[in-house]
Amino acid sequence: MRTYSYGMLFAACVASALFAGGCAGPRSKVAVVNILAIEANWPKFQNYSNQLQASFAAIEGSKMPASQKQQQLAQLQGQSKRWQDEVTNDLRATVSTIAKGRNYQLVVTREGVAYGGDDITTDVEKAMSIPTASPSPAF
């Protein structure tokens, strides 16, 4: 039986789906989006991830026959795919709107960039009404 976290799989699929775009010329403007920060603060993403993890744990921990577990895991994978598509499309549409409005030719994830690019994460969070994490007070 496979033992992997649907939450981690879900996050990886969303992040990889955002690597969209084409080849940018030498004068292109590049923007970056911090997917991990968005995932950490986005209630919709967190809700879906938590639901998938809870469902996976419930199926794995149940005493139902293996064949029934397999069937329920397949259904859960289908639900995971639908939710992945939904959050990816929401995020991609918002990023695309911001990028077009600012004439960026390429947007990549912060996780895939060592340095450079204009960080538009805060703008994406605002556009999607995602609460931003407040910094901890320094003592």
Looking at residue 68, what is its pLDDT? Answer: 93
Looking at residue 10, what is its pLDDT? Answer: 54
Claim: this prediction has a pTM higher than 0.85 = no
Span 78-117, pLDDT tens digits: 999 999 999 999 999 999 999 999 999 999 998 878 778 8
Looking at residue 1, what is its pLDDT? Answer: 46
CA gap 123, 13 in Å, rounded: 22
CATH assignment of 14-127, among 3.30.530.20, 3.90.1150.10, 3.30.910.20, 3.30.1280.10? 3.30.910.20
Nearest of 83, 2, 76 to residue 39 by alpha carbon: 83
Query: Domain locations in the chain?
Result: 14-127
